[in-house]
Amino acid sequence: MTCHYSCFINKVRWLGIFILGAAFVGCSTLPPVSVDLNSQQHQSALAKLNNWQIRGKLGFKSPEKKQSASLSWEQKQDDYQLSLNSILGTSILSMQGNHSGATLIADDETHSGNNASELIWQITGWTLPVEQLPVWIKGQSLPNDKVVLAEQGWITQLQPTCENCEGWLINYAEYALNNQQWLPHKIVLLNQHNQLQVTIKINTWIVK
């Protein structure tokens, strides 16, 4: 009686292990998603992508301080709107601008200038290349930029050569398909001269 019962339990135990093992084997043999982009066509499509919005988080790290904020950025052709909020939801700053200049609001005070990056630095002490971000956020390269491509065809690393871009190195990860475009969801900007790191973690892409 005891033997029959123990034999039955052993069979059930081994059957469970077999089923669990088969499940793991089945999962491990699932084929990965295959992506094979033409890098030139991909870059051409990104250059035409001028109306979009992202929401996520921005982290700023320097030898002196480390800060983070929630990020919202909306791009409409050359015009952009940027807002940064604290983890408590209070506004750090909001900014709108284009190639002609920018207006920044922080602590209920309005500041205007021709250089958006300088405005942010004056208010927050952050070195943030605002003028270049509309291109860099998309994972787009410009002529003469040095790039490293993934086997899928998108950029994993970019060393820009534009004016005032010296020292910056941009790393891309976590690409995902958004409205027929493969776009990055994690961007790490490193400034080798100032020992700065800016991390942009994108939770939501809205392509218009």
pLDDT digits (tens, 9 = 90+) for 14-28: 334 333 333 333 333
pLDDT number for residue 10 = 44
CA distance 27 to 20: 11
In 10 A of CB 50, how many CB atoms? 14
Name residues of the chain where pLDDT drops below 50: 1-32
Closest CA to 90 of 78, 65, 108, 63: 108
pLDDT number for residue 35 = 67
Answer whether 0.85 is exceeded by the pTM: no
Is residue 181 within 8 Å of 52, Cβ to Cβ? no
